[in-house]
Amino acid sequence: MKCKLCRTKKAEIFLKPYGLGLCRDDFLSFVKRRVERAIDKFKMFEEKHRVLVAISGGKDSLALLHLLKGLSYDVTGYFLDLGIFPASQEAKQRILNFSKDFGISVIIDRLDEVFVATLPEIGKIMKRPPCSYCGTLKRYFFNRRGMEFDVVVTGHTLNDEAASLFANNLRWDFSYMGRQYPVLEEERGFARKAKPLIFVSEKETAAYCFFCGIEYYEKGCPLAKGASSIFLKRKLLEIDDKRPGVMYTYLKEFLDRKRKQGFMPEEKADMRPCEECGYPTTAQGLCAVCRIRRRFVQHAEGVANNERM
Ligand SMILES: [Zn+2]
Ligand SMILES: [Zn+2]
């Protein structure tokens, strides 16, 4: 089969949602255009901006970092090492290799250094699943590093965003649907955030990595097995397989409608700076992360005292 665009080279990938068989070069251009168009359409950032790309070592975020560098943006990768053994070490090694291979600089923070302990230690001491702290901690540290840059971008894909819209639809959660948008403006204490991969699927990021020789961490988070978001993502893929392109249209129509209506995020509830770290919070006194730290220290002291007795 010949490439549908150039009609000369052999098609190396078939994109079922669009009925397109493409050669390697035309596929790479296709993905680049998708990203460029999302950045322009939603006015995410410009070439003069310094962009921090949150990376996990997985295919989506590494593909994004590589893509943005290829589009001549001023990019730096950011990895928060949560201390999950051995996943974090393996992911970090992939990132260090990637950084060297493609000449892209990367910042690495260790959670036990910038916070108080690794994620598994926090879960163990607090006697709760570590995953219940993961999102809060990541958002906090991505934001804190992001304040040194013009914008923080994440590798959320078409699959992620469509699944999250699906989950919100199932609950008719208008509040979340109201906030779902691929770019959020900077606000006092919050970095500007954007998701340039919203119209690129995970199959496409995997193929992009393969064609560009990007070796990524494939195993995903060992703590997140069985999360309900994974179930919805799989179901959406099944629907997309039966009705090709439906996932793309589902998300695109939703976001285009919001964009045309002039998206305005809901008024944030009254925010004030955390008494300890200055991070904006709706809580009185301490922000969520400083509260986790305080409880962790109290629990850890309790454990130490019990052991002494
Ligand atoms: Zn071609
Ligand atoms: Zn705080």
110 has which bridge partners? Answer: 81
**Do 136 and 115 touch, CB atoms closer than 8 A?**
no
Predicted confidence at residue 227, as pLDDT, reads 66
Closest CA to 122 of 132, 113, 108, 114: 132
The reported pLDDT for the residue numbered 41 is 95
pLDDT in tens, 232-284: 999 999 999 999 999 999 999 999 999 998 877 666 678 899 999 999 998 89
Distance CA 189, CA 213 (A): 38
C-alpha 13 – ligand 1 centre gap (Å) = 10
Pairing of strands 13-15, 20-22: antiparallel
Please give the pLDDT value at position 187: 84
The answer to whether residue 300 scores a pLDDT higher than 70 is yes
Q: What is the pLDDT of residue 266?
A: 66
Asked if residue 160 has pLDDT above 70, the reply is yes
Cα-to-centroid distance, 2 and ligand 1 (Å)? 8
What is the spatial distance between Cα 227 and Cα 130, in angstroms, rounded to a whole number?
A: 13
Nearest Cα residue to 221 out of 61, 31, 30, 9: 61
Burial label, 111 (beta-carbon count in 10 A; 0-12, 13-18, 19+): buried
The alpha carbon of 302 and the centre of ligand 1 are apart by a number of angstroms equal to 64
**pLDDT value of residue 268:** 66
Let me know if 299 is exposed, middle or buried by CB neighbors in 10 A (0-12, 13-18, 19+): middle
Q: Tokens 């976001």 correspond to what residue? A: 255
Please name which ligand lies nearest the alpha carbon of 136: 2
Q: What is the mean pLDDT of residues 52-80?
A: 97
pLDDT tier, 212 (very low <50, low <70, confident <90, very high otherwise): very high
Cα-atom radius of gyration of the chain, to the nearest Å? 21
Residues shown for the chain: 309
Percent of the chain topping pLDDT 90:
81
Average pLDDT over residues 98-124: 96
User: Which residues are paired to 107 by β-bridges?
Assistant: 78
pLDDT of residue 22 exceeding 90, the answer is: yes
pTM for the whole structure: 0.93
Beta-strand (E) ranges in the chain?
A: 13-15, 20-22, 50-54, 74-81, 106-110, 151-153, 183-184, 193-194, 272-273, 280-281
> Among 231, 258, 76, 64, which Cα is nearest to 151's?
76
Residue 54 has pLDDT above 80, yes or no: yes
Residue 226 confidence class, pLDDT cut points 50, 70, 90:
low
pLDDT value, residue 298: 93
Q: Give the ligand whose atoms come closest to the C-alpha of residue 115.
A: 2
**Which pair of tokens denotes residue 118?**
């690794």
pLDDT of residue 131: 87
What mean pLDDT comes out for the span 108-123? 95
Mean predicted confidence (pLDDT) in 47-76: 97
* 6 Cα–ligand 1 center, Å: 4
The label of the residue with tokens 């840059």 reads 149
